[in-house]
Structure 1
Amino acid sequence: MPPVVSSGDAPVVHEHTAGVRYGPALTLLASLFFMWGFITVINNTLLPHLRSVFELSYTQTTLIESVWFIAYFVASIPSAKLIERIGYQKSLVTGLLVMAVGALGMMLAASIPSYGVTLVMLFVIASGITLLQVAANPYVAVVGKPETASSRLNLVQALNSAGTMLAPLFGAYLILGRSKGGTATAGTVLTEAERMADAQSVILPYALVAAVLVVLAIVIAKFPLPAMGSAGSRLAKEQRKGLSLWNHRNLVLGIPAIFIYLIAEIGVANLFVNFVSQPDIANLTHEQAGKYLTFLWGGMMVGRFVGSAVMQRFDAGKVLALFSVGAFVVMMITVVSTGPVAMWSLILVGLFHSIMFPTIFTLGIKGLGPLTEEGSGLLVMAIAGGALVVVQGWIADNYGLQTSFLLTAACELYVLFYALWGSKVTNAAPEPVAE
């Protein structure tokens, strides 16, 4: 039986057909990874904007991102069932159109303006991204030769990082740069009229996003994407009998590792602009601080390339441990220092966070054999950990924004524990074999 690649929704089989050109399909699919990375990180500049427009507390501000990540938990299983019903290509189109509807809804929320409608529309956009995640990952794995699947996945992940790196510039210019609150110094109090005018700055960027999403949906709907194989599902189902996911320590402890890591990553990204714009840190406007987000996400892209190369020669668990120690150190520097040192130490954590999600994910499914798809599904659902960023918002409101990054430092320590001990494989299951 050909090797199975899974994304947590259904077993997928590599089927390489001679004479089929996969390059155009891979390029098109890579654009999806770019877009969902781009749209996700727009939130990092959107949040300080909404905090100013609606005069939100840090708790209310981070609740916006919590709603975003709750969508991963709520929409992942329905997404898998939708794919089973209508197929992968139609699901990709559906995901893009759902995102476009949410983007148009953000224009409505800005016109009213309404905090509640904003929450609903961001949930809609995130649900569309969840559907894309569930459908696109296995597609990338099979559009080409099986032996180059890893190379293809690394390529599209790099483009996802490129999207996250460029999004802060887009948000800084078109959202923060076109608003009074975004260009004012920290502590400036806006009038009611200024806040209502600022709300309108969201309309143009989300109109552009909606237009791009609709065009992509049309292109994918008309594009002759290669068919995906489905043979081997019955065999995998039979091999699962009598096996339990909970016998695998690396998975059981890997689920909270993903969950906890997302709290750290999302907390840093969402509170970055507010933190570095403070007078005792960098004393920047929100627009200027938003541009520095590019360095944070750019560090994650660089770190993924470096980490991938290093892990070809060294054990992934040890590399993860080294990166988690680095992340803990720079977060403690952020907590106890001021000025440019605090700002650049917070930027540097992006470099150390870079390999954490893919490495934890890989270690978590190691040795699961025929249980790999169920384990992958649980790890994907653990992305919902990003919703608990609201806890950091509560800490920031009650104990100070800088102090709240102690939560991030604590998250890095759990990743270190997982890297050194929790990721050790136990009860390795037999890999699927052909009858």
Structure 2
Amino acid sequence: MASIPQPGLAVTEHDGSRSNTPALVIVTLLFFMWGVLTALNDVLIPHLKALYTLSYVQAMLVQFCFFGAYAVVSIPAGALIRRIGYQNGAVAGLVVAAAGCAMFYPAAVSGYGLFLLAFFVLAAGITVLQVAANPYVTVLGDPRTAASRLNLTQAFNSLGTTLAPAVGGMLILSGAVLSADQIAALPAVEQAAYRSQEAALVQGPYLALAAALLLLGILFKMARLPRIAQGAQASGGMLAVLRHRHLLLGAIGIFLYVGAEVSIGSFLINFLGERSVAGLSHADAAYYVSYYWGGAMIGRFVGAAAMRHLSPGRTLAGNAACTVLLLAAAMFGQGSVAMWAVIAVGLFNSIMFPTIFSMALHRLGSATGQASGILCVAIVGGALVPFGQGLVADHAGLHLSFAVPAACYLFILYYGIRYANLHREGTPA
């Protein structure tokens, strides 16, 4: 998943003789890590669904708790950053995320409820980390190429989301998974032993992630990074900022885009396990989730260069139209057609987030920082849209449930068409 920078910021302390490259490398490592942590949800959802015999809606509580943290924590995180500074804020976010990872160890012997709490704590740390670290992308270089740098760093975020499902599938989903009927047929003692054994598979990987996050926090604390000051904010409240229609529709676009991207990834392993599609085991399907996120990675590397020359609105509309057609093929197709159609959506997702983001903030002046905070809260779409798809999947089947993300992309198509000439015409009404 992509992440939001905070415009309206400036470097207040920097040695002009030093290159920005070391600082960008450190920030890029953070993008990579939260890509890993976010994509691992796609592996854990089918694992926990099978382990606790959950419905699709119940399984989507993972994404509800994870992405719900963005809505709950973003504003307090901003206040924390203003108090302790951006670099210390990033360190605090890494420590909280590490604590969330460590909570997976007791969750393995306590049940689904503690898993959900661990997801929330982990995501709370990531939210603080994003609010603190993202500004460096915009200030470490020429402001005119900030969008290009954002695409480049997000490509490394996508590298994390690409590698995580394959590695996570190997570590967590490698064992034989019993069906709900097979679990129910076991004696109570054997059911408890089976659930304990399967739940314990997450302990080692998440303890390793906790250690990596703490190490990264130490390195980030020791790094010599420029000091960043918050720019002036616009007067007036949130409603005043939302009077800019392209921002309001852009926030809706961020909500729907993040929701659609997360929802597809969440259901992909189960979808590829359908006999009418590929009939893959969870472990084998996890590798194809890497292809889904890998398409986004490739597209973002290409987009880092291509978006310097292409019309943002037209490119956004074209990509959204392709995703709608691909999801229609997944809904009504079978076998390899349905399988590769839904995987290919990842490629066309690639430039959507930074493009919607830059269009939504176009020429907002002193309102830019406040508007960026609104877009950060809109990431909560990743918590709610998967619920919608889960409801459809439980009542109408997994194939038809992809109508939910398809509807999200239809709105993004509309947004791209409506503001196709945004950067030529100036600030829209």
Same fold (TM over 0.5): yes
**Counterpart in 2 of 1:428?**
427
Kindly state the Cα deviation for residue 362 of structure 1 after the two structures are TM-superposed: 0.9
* Residue in structure 1 matched with residue 68 of structure 2 by the alignment: 70
Mark the runs of 5 or more structure 2 residues left unpaired by the alignment. none
| Cα separation, partners in 2 of 1:24 and 1:188, compared to 1, 3 Å | farther
1:244-280 residue CA offsets vs partner (Å, 9 max, x unmatched) = 3233221111111111112211110000000101111
Q: Does 1:279 align with 2:275?
A: yes
Match of 1:170 in 2: 167
Residue 200 of structure 1 corresponds to 200
State whether structure 2 residue 85 is matched by structure 1 residue 90: no
Letter in 2 for 1:412: Y
Residues 130 and 197 of structure 1: CA distance in aligned 2, closer, same or farther (over 3 Å): same
Mapped to 2, the partners of 1:144 and 1:421 lie a distance apart of 31
- Kept in 2, the 8 Å contact 1:367–1:428? The answer is yes
The equivalent of 1:3 in structure 2 is none
| Number of the residue aligned with 1:417 | 414
Match of 1:55 in 2: 53
User: Conserved in 2, the CA contact under 8 Å of 1:176 and 1:287?
Assistant: yes
Match of 1:433 in 2: none
* Letter of the 2:204 counterpart: L
Q: 1:356 to 1:188 in 2, by over 3 A?
A: farther
Q: Tell me which amino acid in the other structure corresponds to 1:344.
A: W
- Please name the residue that 1:79 is paired with: 77
2:227 equivalent in structure 1? 227
Check conservation: 2:32, 2:157, Cα contact below 8 A. yes
User: Residue 155 of structure 1: CA displacement?
Assistant: 2.6
Correspondences of 1:365-404 after superposition (within 5 Å):
365-388=361-384, 389-404=386-401
**Number of aligned residues:** 414
Q: Which runs of 5+ in 1 are unaligned?
A: 1-5, 430-435
1:48/1:407 CA distance change after superposition, 3 Å: same
Contact 2:70 2:380 in 1 (8 A): yes
Q: 1:255 to 1:423 in 2, by over 3 A?
A: farther
- Partner in structure 2 of residue 135 of structure 1: 132
**One-letter code of the match for 1:72?**
Y
**CA-to-partner distance for each residue in 1:379-403, whole Å, 9 max, x for gaps?**
1110001111111111101111111
Q: 1:303 to 1:21 in 2, by over 3 A?
A: closer
Q: CA deviation at 1:150?
A: 4.2
Offset of residue 161 of structure 1: 0.8
What is the CA distance between 1:354 and its match in structure 2? 1.3
2:277 counterpart letter in structure 1: I
C-alpha distance in 2, partners of 1:319/1:331?
A: 19
What is the aligned partner in structure 2 of residue 159 from structure 1?
Answer: 156
Give the TM-score normalised by the residue count of structure 2: 0.91
The reply on whether 1:45 has 2:47 as its aligned counterpart is no
1:173-322 → structure 2 map (5 Å cutoff): 173-177=170-174, 179-181=175-177, 189-190=182-183, 191=186, 192=191, 193-230=193-230, 233=232, 237=234, 244-322=240-318
CA distance in 2, matches of 1:326, 1:206: 36
Q: CA deviation at 1:410?
A: 1.1
Contact 1:7–1:373 under 8 Å retained in 2: no
Post-superposition offset of 1:322: 0.5
Aligned partners of 1:262 and 1:138: how far apart in 2? 20
Normalization by structure 1: what TM-score?
0.90
Q: What is the CA-CA distance between 1:328 and the residue it aligns to?
A: 0.3
RMSD across aligned positions (CA): 2.3
Please tell me the residue identity of whatever aligns with 1:401: L
The 4+ residue runs of structure 1 with deviation greater than 6 A are none
